[in-house]
Amino acid sequence: MNDQLYQDRIVSLAKAKTGAGKLANPTKSARRDNPLCGDRVTIDVKLDDGGKIAEIGHQVRGCLLCQASASALASVAVGRNAAGIEKVRLDAERAIGREEGDPGEPFSAFAPVKAHKSRHECVLLPFEALKDALS
């Protein structure tokens, strides 16, 4: 077996399910599908008066990488506005090798995905959904 992808940190992030679930009265919601693999992410956010995320909820019908990414994103999203989320996305993109530089936490956990290009979109799909929700 040459299993480099499903390392403990990714599995732990997915199992933590941080932010998993619907919000009762979201300010905004968005759903994104990956038509190639069928993964689907729905993100609800409650925003404060300054446009910053006060609460986030996600529903993922997708793989472990997508679940782990949504969980990691939810763990750092509160208090950030759209620009702040773009900075977090940069960390995720650094982790999977799409951008130069060292990824911040917790996204360094996704470094094993770098070698699996077909799975990059699994990591980025929650970011796409959140971007839509914040736009």
Which residues here bind another protein, judged by CB under 8 A? 1-6, 11, 36-40, 61-65, 67, 116, 119, 122
Which residues have C-beta within 8 Å of that of residue 130, sequence separation ≥ 6?
30, 43, 45, 56, 73, 77, 85
Minimum distance from residue 20 beta carbon to another protein (Å): 14
Minimum distance from residue 118 beta carbon to another protein (Å): 9
d(CA 76, CA 106): 8
Q: Which is nearer to another protein, 20 or 90 (CB)?
A: 20
Minimum distance from residue 1 beta carbon to another protein (Å): 5
SS3 of residue 115 by DSSP: helix
